[in-house]
Amino acid sequence: MKKYIVALAFMVSAMSQAQQTKFSFRFDNNKKTEGAIGITPQSVFTEAVGYGYDLLPSPDGKSNRPFYFSVTVPDGNYRVTVTLGAKKKAGETTVRGESRRLFIENLPTKKGEFVKRSFVINKRNPMIAEGEYVKIKPREKNKLNWDGKLTFEFNGSAPCLAALSIEKVDAIPTIFLCGNSTVVDQDNEPWASWGQMIPRFFNDQVCFANYAESGEAANTFLAAGRLKKALTQMKPGDYIFMEFGHNDQKQKGPGKGAYYSFMTSLKIFIDEARERGAQPVLVTPTQRRSFNDEGKIVDTHGEYPDAMRWLAHKENVPLIDLNAMTRILYEAMGVEGTKKAFVHYPANTYPGQTKALEDNTHFNPYGAYQIAKCVIEGMKANKLGFVKYLSDDYQTFNPAHPDNLATFKWCPSPFTEIEKPDGN
């Protein structure tokens, strides 16, 4: 009977925790901070408690290794405010959320200096309605994007976290990202996509909700219930971006094709968004790394980019021509230079990697970062309302002049994977 009462108490605690939408934590001198939960190295995440250090050992205050912190919350958008810095040492901190979404990049703090920054992050789980769930793939089951908690990664050459607060926000525009492996939040190094880089360039007045998944075509995205789940959170004033084509073009048979099933699926996205007062935006697919002998990009998407351009004109929908911009970007980088933007690494670069990685579709963090800037320039060209929330340090980007790789500093996440994402 006693065991039953204890178990019931844990269940009630977890249920209560799951409904809480506002938290405040202190990681230094926590006993002196009124109203905040003091966090110590012993504060390890459990379902019963609902918050704590997660995935890796707690920070010891001496080493500069990365660490994770998780909080159980319901679905929705959350404004996160972090105070970065430490009394006894200088720091440089990068903050990522959920499946490696980038929010704060290499922020320096002097010894004794504390800097406060805010951003908004989207949280979701697979439940669409009672008894109905998104058909996530087996390899998605351990993705941080789909569990019941918000998880934050604190990385950098010397990560320093002093305080963290979380509060649910409902009245800001959400940009829903729908697409495939070129858009998805890639969980592990060295893979990356533009959808997980783009939050870094915006302030805390807008939220990106990345629903993309590797291997998806427009019709399989719909069949898995991914759009249906997004619609449960969508509201007037939101946006929905659609970048498909890589996997759609492989579908053969009656009714398939760029101007047939593909158009039908995209029209469903457009109609469903408009019905909820949201703005649909079409994004043509990124080019593959495919060069001819003259160093020019060879089109590999057939009619699909033109079909999206046609539909955008017909439906009066904003179009971001990422297909055209990535052609310029890759040709500017050159045949060899583009290898530094894609997953091209010699054998033994990563644990268990016995063969060279030579992927001409999927990006590494540097490549994803460049393409995110291309997307932002497309947002600006279309005068989308939320571009007023670009971060103060964003500078105009020209795909013909990519950032110097030598100036790009990426502190890798501790988890790696040598299996390529679904799709090509």
Catalytic residue annotation: 181, 358, 362
| Residue 114 burial (C-beta neighbours within 10 Å; 0-12, 13-18, 19+) | middle
> In this structure, are residues 29 and 88 in contact, taking their beta carbons and an 8 Å threshold?
no
Total Cβ atoms within 10 A of residue 16: 10
Task: Using CA atoms of 111, 117, 121, 123 in order, give the dihedral in degrees to the nearest 10.
Answer: 60
CA within 13 Å, CB half, 131: 0
Instruction: Please choose, from the candidates 150, 120, 159, the residue with its C-alpha nearest in 3D space to the C-alpha of residue 27.
Output: 159
Task: Tell me how far apart the terminal alpha carbons of the chain are, to the nearest angstrom.
Answer: 56
Cβ contacts of 289 within 8 Å, gap of 6 or more: 330, 338, 339, 342, 360, 361
> In this structure, are residues 243 and 206 in contact, taking their beta carbons and an 8 Å threshold?
no
Give the three-class secondary structure for 374.
Answer: helix
Q: Tokens representing 411? A: 């502190």
> In this structure, are residues 150 and 164 in contact, taking their beta carbons and an 8 Å threshold?
no
